[in-house]
């Protein structure tokens, strides 16, 4: 967003109450018809589905100023199609009237354009996730997923050095890639020995972006530079 639209958005949101959720708390259940739209004030929200076996399948992560559930907000679905859960130790959300939110977005061409950009970026991220899952080898599934996370939830901590801001476990990587926890842990350990990734029990994952992109077998994917 531009500074002008940032200020407009903050002024709009300041009129609404906030709710706080602790890590693991369900904000919206799958199939639930929400009473309000939610906009993330702080923290991260995880959206996910469950397989027939009860395995968690993450769909997206929402952070500052993200609005959900989008399909309900814009009246494309009568209820939420995913579960929405607090992912960080504490999540603070603005609770916004849906009709007010849509009216605000439509009130100014620049605000509307920013909303369009957000959804296009979100769609690009989802297509990258789908591309990662379509690979047959476990190593490729993980490499492409790490590349997606670097672009969507990464921050620069040095030249070609990216830290993933999500506090992910081996089980989270397994859920993201469709692998078992043991396989995800094995593949992560291989990348650690190759100095592609560094991590420990008490630190976030850091990536050598140059080494990671060199392992991608798709020039067009590896050339993506934008922040998702």
Q: How far apart are the C-alpha atoms of 214 and 203, rounded to whole Å?
A: 25
Give the containing element (helix H, strand E) for 120.
helix 109-134
CB 133 within 8 A of CB 141: yes
Architecture of the domain delimited by 125-222: Orthogonal Bundle (1.10)
Written out in words, the top-level CATH class of the domain with range 3-109 is mainly beta
* pLDDT for position 51: 87
Rounded to 5 degrees, what are φ and ψ at 47?
-105, 135
CB 102 within 8 A of CB 115: no
* pLDDT for position 53: 86
**29-59 burial string, b = 16+ CB within 10 Å, else e?**
ebeeebebbbbbbebbbbbbeeeeeeebebe
Q: What is the tens place of the pLDDT at every residue in 177-209?
A: 999 999 999 999 999 999 999 998 888 999 999
Q: How far apart are the C-alpha atoms of 96 and 80, rounded to whole Å?
A: 16
Q: Which residues of the chain have pLDDT under 70?
A: 1-4, 219-228
* pLDDT for position 54: 86
Report the DSSP pairing between strands 90-96 and 37-42.
Answer: antiparallel
- Nearest alpha-carbon partner for 72 in 128, 26, 29, 20: 29
Q: The pTM is what?
A: 0.89
Domain chopping of the chain, boundaries: 3-109, 125-222
């Amino acid at each position: 967003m531009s500074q002008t639209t940032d200020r407009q958005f903050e002024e709009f949101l300041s009129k609404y109450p906030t709710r706080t959720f602790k890590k693991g708390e369900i904000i919206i259940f799958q199939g639930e018809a929400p009473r309000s739209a939610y906009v993330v004030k702080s923290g991260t929200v995880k959206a996910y589905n469950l397989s027939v076996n009860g395995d968690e399948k993450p769909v997206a992560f929402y952070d500052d100023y993200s609005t959900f559930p989008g399909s309900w907000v814009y009246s494309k679905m009568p209820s939420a199609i995913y579960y929405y859960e607090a992912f960080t130790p504490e999540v603070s959300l603005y609770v916004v009237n849906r009709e007010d939110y849509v009216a605000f977005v439509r009130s100014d061409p620049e605000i509307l354009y920013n909303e369009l950009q957000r959804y296009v970026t979100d769609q690009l991220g989802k297509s990258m996730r789908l591309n990662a899952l379509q690979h047959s080898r476990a190593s490729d599934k993980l490499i492409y997923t790490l590349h997606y996370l670097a672009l969507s939830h990464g921050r620069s901590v040095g030249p070609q050095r990216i830290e993933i801001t999500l506090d992910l476990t081996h089980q989270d990587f397994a859920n993201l890639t469709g692998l078992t926890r043991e396989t995800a842990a094995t593949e992560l350990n291989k990348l650690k020995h190759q100095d592609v990734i560094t991590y420990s029990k008490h630190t976030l994952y850091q990536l050598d972006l140059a080494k990671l992109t060199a392992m991608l077998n798709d020039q067009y994917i590896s050339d993506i530079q934008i922040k998702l």
